[in-house]
Amino acid sequence: NAGVTQTPKFQVLKTGQSMTLQCAQDMNHNSMYWYRQDPGMGLRLIYYSASEGTTDKGEVPNGYNVSRLNKREFSLRLESAAPSQTSVYFCASRTTEQFFGPGTRLTVL
């Protein structure tokens, strides 16, 4: 039982490049979430998915898109990366409590 897994762990992009961050959970949770965490700050919600087939914007959705591929997988896409998107990205899933993945550390040059 791996819990919430994320790939890649680290990524460096140039401004304007695109990439997809992958997230999967094996706990049969309906709800999944993407957060970003900037130095010295808490977690800010980017997008969430209440269940398979639904997605909704969180606090900071601009510059991102998401896909809830199936119940297990929830991906986050940066279509044209900007330096302001340098951050650590966490995926989470939820039953009564929320469980987090280990994070993806993204640097945009």
Partner 1 sequence: GQQLNQSPQSMFIQEGEDVSMNCTSSSIFNTWLWYKQDPGEGPVLLIALYKAGELTSNGRLTAQFGITRKDSFLNISASIPSDVGIYFCAGPELVIGTYKYIFGTGTRLKVLA
Whichever of 19 and 50 has its CB closer to partner 1, that residue is 50
Q: Which of residues 55-94 bind partner 1 (CB under 8 A)?
A: 56, 58-59, 90, 92, 94
Task: Write the CB contacts of 97 (distance below 8 Å, at least 6 apart in sequence).
Answer: none
Applying CB under 8 A, among 11, 19, 61, 102 the residue interacting with partner 1 is: 102
Pick between residue 56 and residue 79 the one whose CB is nearest to partner 1: 56
Q: Which amino acid is at 29?
A: H
- 83 and 15 Cβ atoms separated by less than 8 Å: yes
Residue 44 has which token pair? 């800010």
Q: Which is nearer to partner 1, 31 or 86 (CB)?
A: 31
Map residue 54 onto helix, strand or coil: coil
51, two tokens: 């269940």
- Can you give the binding site for partner 1, defined by CB under 8 A? 4, 30-31, 33, 41-45, 48, 50-51, 54, 56, 58-59, 90, 92, 94, 96-103
